[in-house]
Homo-oligomer: A and B are copies of this chain.
Amino acid sequence: MKANQNEQPNGVKEIARRAKVSIATVDRVIHNRSGVSAKTRTRIEKIIQELNYQPNIIASRLASRKVLNFAILIPSVSAETAFWAAPLAGIQQAEDEIRQMGIKVDRYFFDLNSKASFVKQTKQILKSKIDGILLAPSFIEESIAFTDALKEKNIPYVFINSDIPNRESLCYIGPDLFHSGYLSAHVINYCIQPRDKILVVNVSHEIENHHHLLRKEEGFRSYFKDNEKRIVKIDIRQTNDRSVEKKVAEALEETPNIKAIFVTNSRVANVAHYLENKGKKGMLLVGYDFLPENIAYLQKSVIDFLICQKPQEQGYRGIMALYQHLVMAAPVEKVSFMPIDIITRENHAYYKN
């Protein structure tokens, strides 16, 4: 191919030519590296402006054989935390897409029932050489300590699934919990009569710490704020089927006329199991998350609606946010709320997590 014929008109070469310097010096200015006299720097910067220079990222990645290491820190996947399989799949998908650009993703997992496991992993991560990290800040204080250390090292971090505001994260990607509760109330309100009562169920080992469950409940209550008497609420800290069944049965006995149950997380399958066993029909059941067990009950019409928030996309976009920031040097939205999807028996097959 002949040179100079259809050469990129505004590349480093052209800048160097106009500034009467070598391309190495231009490169130093572009990347803000030291070793350029103020005078030369200004001259080159001006030309970059004039030409509206856009670096060719592809050539850049090809030439610099630098590998970027991203880390993720999320709960490990278990029967109780099946949810996290989806974000992990999204992370995998993102990695597949940007591997060609020389990006590696190191995976760290912690036990959602153990703060110690979280802390242990953060220490590991700080020892390793990473350029950016995506994490689920499930434990608030521990996450604050960790991100302080990251800040010190100038390593950008992205929060996923739940947020800690004002922590200077690169961004937050996940649900707006309050509004997802509010929406659930709206949907339920369509399906029952004004005299009907509603049972709100929180199922979790440590409800005190689970800000996110409480945020959903707040949103739900806020919708019915002129009618608070319609809501009965129970907290269930023993998450096995027997305990859930017992508590729910008690509540239903105590308050007649409950026509809808809202479970604030994915444990809605436990309640579904109870309703199915007892042959209770005509109870509207609404809960969270696109998990196989929940979908099964959705298909059997035991669960009526599932609220879902694109868990896979959360993982995908979390990684891509780091990529945008570190590779493309492009600006990143500070907060990116997921849509609040309403999944029923009739549209779940089309839902892409």
Contact = CB atoms under 8 A, between A and B. Distances in A.
Contact of A62 (B58, B344, B346): B58
A347 interface: yes
Interface residues of A, number: 34
Interface stretch (A141-149, A162-170, A178-186): A178-186
A341 B351 CA distance: 9
A187 B58 CA distance: 48
A113 interface: no
A12 to B, nearest CB: 14
A231 B314 CA distance: 41
Given A183-B346, A186-B345, A339-B347, 11 more contacts: A6-B65, A58-B61, A58-B62, A58-B101, A59-B62, A62-B62, A179-B350, A182-B346, A190-B190, A338-B350, A340-B347
A351 B61 CA distance: 34
A100 B346 contact: no
A288 B287 CA distance: 25
Contacts of A58: 58, 61-62, 100-101
A79 to B, nearest CB: 27
Contacts of A59: 62
A56 interface: yes
Contacts of A351: 339
B344 A339 contact: no
Contacts of A350: 176, 179, 337-340
A182 B347 CA distance: 9
A352 B340 CA distance: 10
A338 B338 CA distance: 17
A57 interface: yes
Given A57-B100, A58-B58, A100-B56, A342 B347 contact: yes
Interface string A48-84: 0000000011110110010000000000000000000
3 shortest A-B CB distances, which residue pairs?
A340-B347, A183-B346, A342-B342
Contacts of A38: none
Contacts of A100: 56-58
A329 interface: no
